Amino acid sequence: MIQARLLVAVTLALALGAEAATPPRPALARSRGTAVDKGSQLVAAKGLPKGSSHVAAAPAPASSGGFDISLMLYFVFWYVGNAIYNLYNTMALTAVGGKHSGLTMTVSTLQLGVCTIYAGLLWLSNFNPITLLGLQKPGKMPLPETTKADIVDTLPVGFCAAAAHSAGVFCLGADPLFGQIVKAGEPVLSAFVNTVFYGKPPSLAKVACLFFIVGGVGFASLKKKVGGGYGLKFDERALIFGLIGNSFAAFKGSENKKLIVKPGLKDRMGGVANQFALTEVLGFLISVPVMFAVEWKKFPAFLSMLKSSKELQVGLLASGMSFYIYNELATMTIKKTGAVTASVANTAKRVIVLVFMSAVTGKALTQEQKIGAAIAIAFVMLYSVIDDLVKKFAGPSK
């Protein structure tokens, strides 16, 4: 547990560094206003003039030094939701027979199916309760006014989201602990993808961090031999699918950035909540044919288990719902704080989930996994803020 405490301390230090290195965001102060303040409203209200960026009168100015309780609660429920997802994802996979059951893709696809049903209910009711978690009134969620061309443009994001999710389920289903360590190394694949495919290489400072991230994951893969010395020992499935998931997550982020700058698309989407919901629906529709292509022979057996297994029923429903909710909360925290703070918070989440899954699975982390995870996660956090820290300590350019 010492390593976990050390990681939390490093997280807080880097988070403070990030805040010091970047200008403060108004959303970090407590805001008082109507039910559709800019900080809590995810979807643009109907009836506004085209091009208008406000959904209601601006909230009252925040008091200096105030504290945004809703933002804190969004962070808390984001972390809790992710832990719950990992718990019930493991339950669902165990209920179908584990990583060798041949039904992992089915579980992954039906989790997105739960997300799709929930998104449909939100659209039918024109009501999104997510802001209740921040002690704010819920907002409206009208159907997006997207065109066929918009749907086509969104398909790459939906495909990457589906691939990243399914690979993540395979990874965590193989080894919930080592899988989290591999997934924490996402910046490595992100740097590769953005450099090779989008012509956006990371800074030299970030490149330096990548070596330590890779080294940390590598050290976590070591195990002492009986006769002395070390050898590589890890779950190959967790490593392979973790790398695949990280790659598609990087593609998804870059494709999403390309998508949101398309003229008029953001207005037709109606807000980030609609964009996220549409992405999950497309991800489900893309996953269904893949599921039947690779696991159709076992689908009748799966349906039989689904009828009789309470663990599978609860695991699928809870993992699907928690996946949707915690990802929507993550999107909201990014909107209110900015990408740097949210990235540091996301890395801190890895520590909490890693310790949580070790406790609930009863599988203790090896000394090598603890040290390797500490190195990898610490440098992922540093990777998130190092460019801002370098600018701060370098001083203003002359």
Phi and psi torsions of 55, nearest 5°: -105, -10
116 pLDDT above the threshold of 90: yes
pLDDT tens digits, residue range 335-344?
777 655 666 6
Looking at 41-50, 217-226, 361-370, which range is the least confident one?
Answer: 41-50
Question: In this model, does residue 174 exceed pLDDT 80?
Answer: yes
Of the candidates 379, 334, 364, the one whose C-alpha atom is nearest the C-alpha of residue 184 is 379
Q: Which amino acid is at 262?
A: K
3-state secondary structure of 62: coil
Average pLDDT, the chain: 80
Where does the pLDDT of residue 21 fall: very low under 50, low under 70, confident under 90, or very high at 90 and above? very low
Task: Specify whether the CB–CB gap between 179 and 243 falls below 8 A.
Answer: no
At residue 19 the predicted structure's pLDDT band, cuts being 50, 70 and 90, is very low
**pLDDT at position 37, please?**
41
Average pLDDT over residues 228-257: 85
> Could you tell me which residue, 152 or 347, shows the higher pLDDT?
152
- The larger pLDDT score, comparing residue 202 to residue 42, is at 202
Q: pLDDT, tens digit, for every residue of 389-398? A: 888 887 665 5
Q: Which helix (H) or strand (E) holds 230?
A: strand 230-232
What are the tokens at 388? 């801002």
Measured CA to CA in angstroms, residue 187 lies from 108, 122, 162, 178 at distances of 24, 33, 19, 17
Strand partners, 32: 60
Q: Residue 396: what pLDDT?
A: 62
Contacts of 342 (CB under 8 A, 6+ apart): 330, 333, 334
Terminal-to-terminal C-alpha distance of the chain: 47
pLDDT for the residue numbered 171: 92
Read off the pLDDT of each residue in 97-114 and give the average, rounded to a whole number.
93
Question: Cβ neighbours of residue 247 under 8 Å, at least 6 residues apart?
Answer: 189, 192, 193
